[in-house]
Structure 1
Amino acid sequence: MYQVITLCGDSEPWWFLDDWKKDIVTVKEFDDYYTALKHYKKEWFNLAARYPSFISKSSLMSAFWNKREQFWCEECVDYLQRYHSVALLANWQELPFDCHRPGYEKANDQSLPYACSVSFQTKKIV
């Protein structure tokens, strides 16, 4: 089973922090990889039309943002970037390497170097 998820949070989707599922906005499930990939592309273009900056990985996880869309974090006493992301997963895990698409590896900006530094240090990467 494949999932195409959209997320909104303070970290890019490839980090898979312990509580990453709390950032999920939508989920669509598919039995077929290519149908899921088609939906991923649709979501990718929707986000690209709305946000000027992006990083897209060959693992079919992408983060989009507007540098002006930041919010204050009381835990780390700093402003954090809000990312809008899309990811294609297989059984709620990163896609196996043979499903990666090298042509999707691109970016037009660099993201901030961290999410919430306090939370990031206390969360375990799965």
Structure 2
Amino acid sequence: MLHEIFYIRSFDEPWWMLEGWQENIVSRKSFSNAGQAQKYFDREVQALSLRFTEQKRQGRSIAFWNPGDLAYCSNCEEDLQVYHGLLWLVNNKLVN
């Protein structure tokens, strides 16, 4: 099984995986072992928890943000909240 953990910076929580979500990937790590993936994921969660005050989980994906951390969305023509998220896929599917 291929475990992939993506760090995503976007206007949406990572689990939405809306069309074009790949354009928001900051980094990607691949693992053939679930244990190694879990250790990496836990370290990343701990590090991001120190940087951001808010978090929301859905399955094994998690979004982090600081209220008021906004960026201009040219498609929306307004400022939107920026989310930093971890997305865990196994064989290209969300892990719950």
Distance 2:75 2:26 in 1: 23
How far apart are the structure 2 equivalents of 1:7 and 1:47?
12
Give structure 1 stretches of 5+ with no counterpart: 101-126
**How do 1:1-80 and structure 2 match up within 5 A?**
1-57=2-58, 59-80=59-80
Q: For the aligned residues, what is the CA RMSD?
A: 1.1
Q: CA deviation at 1:75?
A: 2.3
How many pairs does the alignment contain?
95
What is the distance in 2 between the residues matched to 1:20 and 1:74? 16
Q: Tell which has more relative contact order, 1 or 2 (C-alpha 8 A, sep 6+).
A: 2
TM-score, normalised via structure 1 length: 0.71
Q: Which has the higher strand share?
A: 2
Q: Which residue of 1 aligns with 2:85?
A: 85
CA distance in 2, matches of 1:18, 1:86: 17
Structure 2 gap ranges (5+): none
Runs of 4+ in structure 1 displaced over 4 angstroms? Answer: none
After superposition, the C-alpha distances for 1:2-56 in whole angstroms (9 at most, x for unaligned) are: 0111010100011011111111111111001121011111111111100001101
- Determine which structure has more spread, i.e. the larger CA radius of gyration: 1
Rounded Cα–Cα distance in structure 2 between residues aligned with 1:5 and 1:30: 12
